[in-house]
Amino acid sequence: MTRLVVTGVSASYGSTQVLHDVGLTVEGGSTTAILGASGCGKTTLLRVVAGFHAADAGEVRIGDRTVAGPGFAMPPERRGIGYLSQEGNLFPHLTVAGNIGFGLPRAERRDRARTAELLELVGLPVALADRRPEQLSGGQQQRVALARALARRPELVLLDEPFGSLDAGLRSTTRRAVADALSAAGATVLLVTHDQDEALSFADQVAIMRDGRFVQVGAPKEVYSTPVDRATAGVLGELVILPGHGDGDHVITILGRLPVAGADVTGAVDVAVRPEQVLIGPAVGAVGSVGAVDAVVDAVDYFGHDALVRIVLPAGPEGPAPVVFSRVVGDDAPTPGQLVGVSVRGPVQAFPHTVVLLAPTDPT
Amino acid sequence: MIRRLVPAVLAVAALTAGCGSSDEAPPLDPDKLTIYSAQHKNLVDAWVKGFTDETGVQVQVRQGTDSSMGNQIVAEGSRSPADVFLTENSPAITVVQDADLLAPVDQTTLDQVDPAFRPSNGLWSGIAARSTVLVYNPSLVSEADLPASMMDLAQPEYAGKWGAAPAGADFQAIVAGMLEMKGEAATSAWLDGLKKNAKVYQNNIATMKAVNAGQVPMGIMYHYYWYRDQAQTKDGSKNTKLHYFKNEDVGAFVSVSGGGVLKSSKHAADAQKFLAWITSPKGQAAIAASKSMEYAVGMDQPSDPALPPLASLEAPAIDPFTLDGPAVIELMTQAGII
Amino acid sequence: MTTTTPGRLAGPAPRRHPSPAGGALVLAAVLVTAVSVLPIVVVLVNALGQGWSEAVADVVRPRVWELLRNTVSLVVVSTSACAVLGVTCAWLVERTGLPGAGWWRVLLVAPLAVPAFVNAYAWVSLRPAMTGLGGAVLITTLSYYPLVFLPVSAALRGLDRSWEDTARSLGLGRWRTFARIVLPQLRPAVLGGCLLVALHLLAEFGVLAMLQFPTFTTAILDQYEAAFDTGTGSVLALVLVALCVAVLTIEHVWRGRRGHARIGAGVIRRPEPATLGRWLVPGVSALAVLVVLALGVPVYSLGHWLTTPGATVDGSALAAALGSTIGLALAAAAVTCVAAFPVALLLRQRQSAFTTSIERLCYLASSLPGVVVGLALVLLAIRWVTGLYQSATLLVIAYAILFLPRALVAIRTALAQAPGALLESARALGDSPARAVVRVVVPLALPGILAGLALVFMATTTELTATLLLAPTGTQTLATGFWAASSSLDYGAAAPYAVAMVLLSAPMTWLLLRQRTVIA
């Protein structure tokens, strides 16, 4: 089990600085996902760790070896890493078996048993060994690329948005197969992605990067429920923003007096609520009502497994009628025009009020 | 798999095929006598064979054309590997003479040649001669309508009725004769007339064949092309006849082919021997024997019996050694012909 | 099967990768580019060497106007004819229910295997009256229309029907859809093909000499024959280069920068073929006539002259010419592809002002006609590099300069088969940079490189103009041997040389059919 430690890494392309003094630790055998928008620098960090890009400053240690430091960088072929890119990059002139055996010493390349073992590890039938890459589907290609990377039993595996080019249906099955293979291999994994579902489900640790810096690093649940700022909260999932007024460890909103997760707040705040926290029940006054506020259902987006309900709250003294979204199980979806009672479950996030240029009717 | 293999197979095949071939002309052998020749190949080959058979001296020949070879020798200067330079017309060798690259020819050689066909400065010698002629197609133009003088051809009444190959050294020699006889103004005017009225062909043979085919009634060229064709298949000339202008007209110009020894020659003795041989009776007889149909220039040497005697052609008495080739080029450039 | 190449609108832009031996590579690429552009410099220096007023006087002559008139009219008429023919044939073959489309495609491209001057010989030997602009236009159009046909048919094959469906749904009829939707998308292909045709026409010598249609090329050679190295020839060469640059500029401006936005990658859906109906017979007949004229006439003519009794064929001379040609072509192919390598590698790197200027200079050099390169190298050897004078080396250098652009395109395409990402994967799997190149780049790029070698080889075997100027006296190639014979109108003697050239360049047709872009 090898630990990856990145300390104080800064990197640039030409005259543009892309990474600013970045640090990260990935414990041996665990998976960390770096999540961020395109252009934030996450791929650059991955390439620095892999050895494809030279950092301007900082240090990278894989296990007990320092592979990059001030004034020197070990070439990629000596770092003992596995690297999987978005396009898979299987060698078109070799068969699947040829690709898998590429990184092995010549004696082992012909070892059909090892090839079969690796194909099984990534969940592919052994019969694929003699096919050519262009005969495989996208998901199969990515799995072969993983088998190829794992063939050398690398200490550290780096994944650069590996599922981005797959069709949605393939994506989740491939993801699961890759995750299983990696944990079976006991590798330390660093994944880079802009897809929040991927980051949250795949990783033991999520690191949110923005403009070349980490803004928050922690377990998925922690990052999701207590994001450090509003923008980070928005990266990880949908949000509903309501105006509110801080009152110590509670905040007063149109949906009632709600407990705040995190530090006490005072003054005008933006309250961030996840749609799954917004509960819909019978209207106030009806039998079994639990809600704090009555509101009219404006629209329902039905997805089969769940539904997103758009609810218009009664307008307050200042501003237009707030709109909230509620995520409910598909069977429980109300009908448009229905009067429902709206309440919030669980603590909410409160951030200092910022002027938002977008109309506050869309979930951010 | 096949896709990848075929280009590879092609390349390998090409490589193995090429292995057995050389990629340049055999380099000049420094031990052999080197002749830069603008004369026709079959005549020079006959001369070389005769010379080597008699003297045992090994010879190698580089073929080219008058102007480019002459200029090439001038450009090569003293580095030139040429020992002997043979031309078709005199302007080209005059260019080399004026660049001070020729060694004086042995007097014994000069004595073999008719003084009319060699310069008094003794720097080179005539080796053969040819006459300007008008070739015409009798079905397109009658003898009575032929021009009395070559100068007449520039007149509008002959527009589109004649052709020539003005870009070639042969024709340029003829114009050089005109320049010598008539001066710059008249030559310039005549060239303007050519530009307006004449059809341009690539070379003398093309001119003759065009007349033969009836594409144009008349053409100006040298005599030997016609006689050669007549001696062979007659394909290029069976519908044509020759007309000699005579009367010391510009169109009766006789051009002298020249031969000279280069100052820089490493085989000066052999070079002089070669010139001596080709101007000797044996050498001059070879002209007829090779059927090149050019005129012999040796003292009292006969030419091919099919040809009218040179003396009967009434050629103008121009000094062929002062013909100014570059001036002609200049005039032609100004007239827009080249 | 799901497609795995992501649409490039999503995802990061392709990375350019710095290559290992930076300094040496840059130096080599700069050297190659400098040599390519050298002819322009030499000609310029020689032209101005005779004095500014002399040079101007050389240009402002009636003769030059005549040459300009001839050249421009030839280029304009012939290029337009090629464009019309090329597009029409491409449309007929790719977009209609034409029977035997596969065969037509081969037959319509095959005229490229016959060098234009052989085509001229074929026509003139049968009908000597063919001269002047009309004859020149006919023969050059028949020789060069495949240069438009090839890219346009490739472009038509790659068109997705979605644009046309959208247009039809917006109310445009069939013909208007073709005019407003399909033709604009064909524009780059048409313009690219026309550019090639125009450049070939500007460089054309053999055809025009045979047809007695004087243009700059024939005039430059006349000047060279007559006066060797006066400034006049160089001035004419400069005018010719200016015309080439003008053609390049016009094409660049007309092509514009418009791209085609398309969301999402995916399989191209071919449009439904248009049925010809009552136009079937006229269409097929028209194509047949074209094939007969472009291909049938040369084949018939060559056969006729080969079998004419009494044809004088000097076997040993022919064999010697064949040997020289093959030897020179092999040397040229090797030198050109080796020279193209550093430039191709350099252009793969991150784009900078430097690499852009290299690319532009190579593009400019690609327009130089053979006569300019030949003349420049002769002057160079006469004046400055006398060791090279009259050497086969100089001729091979000329070939390398002339055909570098083709080799460059072929090698760039070949290297694109092994993008940098594959090299990274190899390095992540433990290979040093050199081993990665050997194990990944070479196997993937090799077929393309061999194709490039083959194309240069075949182009060299039919090169006439530069060879006439530079061949060492005593060396005869197939092209110059052919020229010597056909100048004397000795058609029987010329035929074997012509046949040998056609056979040597026939494989090119097959190679070009397999490519997506025309680089001939």
Identify the bridge partners of residue B241 per DSSP, sorted by sequence position: B136
Q: Do domains A4-225 and A239-352 have the same CATH topology?
A: no
Q: Which pLDDT does position C298 carry in this prediction?
A: 93
A276-319 pLDDT tens trace? 888 888 777 665 555 568 888 989 998 888 888 898 888 767 67
One-letter amino acid for residue B30 of the chain: P
Q: Which pLDDT does position B334 carry in this prediction?
A: 86
Identify the bridge partners of residue A60 per DSSP, sorted by sequence position: A6, A68
Whether B111 is covered by a domain: the verdict is yes
Which run of H or of E encompasses C48?
helix C22-49
Neighbours of C132 (CB within 10 A): 12
The answer to whether the CB atoms of B67 and C227 lie below 8 A apart is: yes
How far are the Cα atoms of B108, B190, B264, C314, C435 from residue B65, in angstroms, in the given order? 29, 26, 21, 21, 56
3-state secondary structure chain B: CHHHHHHHHHHHHHHHHHHCCCCCCCCCCCCCEEEEECCCHHHHHHHHHHHHHHHCCCEEEEECCHHHHHHHHHHHHHHCCCCEEECCCHHHHHHHHHCCCEECCCHHHHHHECHHHCCCCCCCEEEEEEEEEEEECCCCCCHHHCCCCHHHHHCHHHCCCEEECCCCHHHHHHHHHHHHHHHHHHHHHHHHHHHHHEEECCCHHHHHHHHHCCCCCEEEEEHHHHHHHHHCCCCCCCCCEEECCCCCCHHHCEEEEEEEEECCCCCHHHHHHHHHHHCCHHHHHHHHHCCCCCECCECCCCCCCCCCCHHHHCCCCCCHHHCCHHHHHHHHHHHCCC
B189 and B331, same domain (yes or no): yes
Strands (E) in C219-293, as ranges, are: none
Q: Which pLDDT does position B11 carry in this prediction?
A: 47
B145 and B225, same domain (yes or no): yes
- Assess A29–C contact: CB distance below 8 Å, yes or no: no
B150 and B185, same domain (yes or no): yes
Q: Which pLDDT does position C72 carry in this prediction?
A: 95
Neighbours of C97 (CB within 10 A): 12
Q: Which pLDDT does position B23 carry in this prediction?
A: 36
Whether B5 is covered by a domain: the verdict is no
The domains located in chain C, with CATH, are 43-257+279-307 (1.10.3720.10), 312-520 (1.10.3720.10)
B184 and B216, same domain (yes or no): yes
- State chain C's mean pLDDT as an integer: 83
Q: How confident is the model at residue C230 (pLDDT cuts 50, 70, 90)?
A: low
Contact present, B84 and B90 (Cβ < 8 Å) = no
What is the ipTM, given to two decimal places? 0.80
Delimit the domains of chain A by residue range.
4-225, 239-352
B138 and B243, same domain (yes or no): yes
Best residue in C467, C489, C515 for a mutation probing chain B (most B CBs within 10 Å) = C489
- How large is the average pLDDT for residues C48-63? 85
- Enter the tokens of residue A280: 């819909």
Q: How confident is the model at residue C254 (pLDDT cuts 50, 70, 90)?
A: confident
Nearest to C429 among A102, A138, A165 (CB): A102
B55 and B152, same domain (yes or no): no
A16-26 vs A4-13, strand pairing mode: antiparallel
| Threshold 0.90, pTM exceeds | no
The answer to whether the CB atoms of A77 and C10 lie below 8 A apart is: no
pLDDT top residue among C395 and A110? C395
Q: Which pLDDT does position B14 carry in this prediction?
A: 44
Below-50 pLDDT ranges, chain B: 1-26
| DSSP secondary structure code for residue C6 in this structure | P
Contact present, B63 and B113 (Cβ < 8 Å) = no
B135 and B249, same domain (yes or no): yes
B249 and B147, same domain (yes or no): yes
Best residue in B1, B12, B23, B78 for a mutation probing chain C (most C CBs within 10 Å) = B23
Nearest to B3 among C223, C447, C474 (CB): C447
- Assess C5–A contact: CB distance below 8 Å, yes or no: yes
B265 and B248, same domain (yes or no): no
The answer to whether the CB atoms of A38 and C432 lie below 8 A apart is: no
B70 and B174, same domain (yes or no): no
CA distance C472 to C461: 16
Contact partners, residue C31, CB within 8 Å, separation at least 6 = none
- Residue B84, domain CATH: 3.40.190.10
Nearest to C222 among B8, B206, B338 (CB): B338
* Structural domain for B49, as ranges: 33-128+257-308
Which CATH code for domain A239-352? Answer: 2.40.50.140
Instruction: Calculate what percentage of chain A has a pLDDT beyond 90.
Output: 28
Residues of C in contact with A53 (CB under 8 A): none
C426-480 pLDDT tens trace? 999 988 888 888 888 888 888 888 888 888 998 899 899 999 888 886 788 999 9
Q: State how far residue C275 is from chain B, nearest Cα, in angstroms.
A: 33
C16: exposed, middle or buried (Cβ count in 10 Å: 0-12, 13-18, 19+): middle
CA distance C332 to C394: 11
B277-311 pLDDT tens trace? 999 999 999 998 888 889 998 888 888 888 988 88
pLDDT top residue among A13 and C396? C396
Q: Which pLDDT does position A357 carry in this prediction?
A: 58
Give residue for tokens 């240690």.
A61
Q: Which pLDDT does position B2 carry in this prediction?
A: 37
CA distance C245 to C364: 7
B242 and B270, same domain (yes or no): no
CA distance C503 to C507: 8
Chain C residue at shortest CA distance from B36:
C473
Identify the bridge partners of residue A206 per DSSP, sorted by sequence position: A33, A218
The answer to whether the CB atoms of B18 and C327 lie below 8 A apart is: yes
One-letter amino acid for residue A362 of the chain: D
Residues of C in contact with B62 (CB under 8 A): 473-474
- A138-142, B323-327, C377-381, C514-518: least confident range: C514-518
In CATH, the architecture of A4-225 is 3-Layer(aba) Sandwich (3.40)
B187 and B176, same domain (yes or no): yes
Whether B16 is covered by a domain: the verdict is no
Number of folded domains that form chain B: 2
